[in-house]
Amino acid sequence: MIEKNDWRLMGQEGYLKGVTLKYDQYRQYSEDWDHDHCEFCGEKFTFDENPENLHEGYSTLDEYTWICNNCFDDFRLMFEWKVSTQ
Ligand SMILES: [Zn+2]
């Protein structure tokens, strides 16, 4: 059970509550941007082969915000996320 004071919660409900997410490979957002971090726990997403990093997960439809599988499972009920099947 996730508590409201979970260390990963830092006001994300202000912009992630009820949004639609999609599951995909991590992609480069722009030329000078080579990684992202999970919006909740900070795990690193990259598109290299490094097995220590994440290479797929949930993102907002604009691929600006990324959420790892673990945090998705933990917070999906609290945040009422919808998942796009496209
Ligand atoms: Zn995470």
Ligand 1 is a single-atom ion; what residues have CB below 5 A from it? 38, 40-41, 43, 68, 71
pLDDT digit string (tens) for 23-81? 999 977 677 888 999 999 999 999 888 899 999 999 999 988 999 999 999 999 999 99
Q: What distance in Å separates the CA atoms of residue 86 and residue 78, rounded to the nearest whole number? A: 23
Around Cβ 66, how many Cβ atoms within 10 Å? Answer: 25
pTM: 0.90
Q: What spacing in Å lies between the alpha carbon of 68 and ligand 1's midpoint?
A: 4
CA–centroid distance, 23 to ligand 1, in Å, is: 14
Cβ count near 61 (within 10 Å): 12
Rounded-to-10 torsion of CA 57, 10, 15, 13 = 90
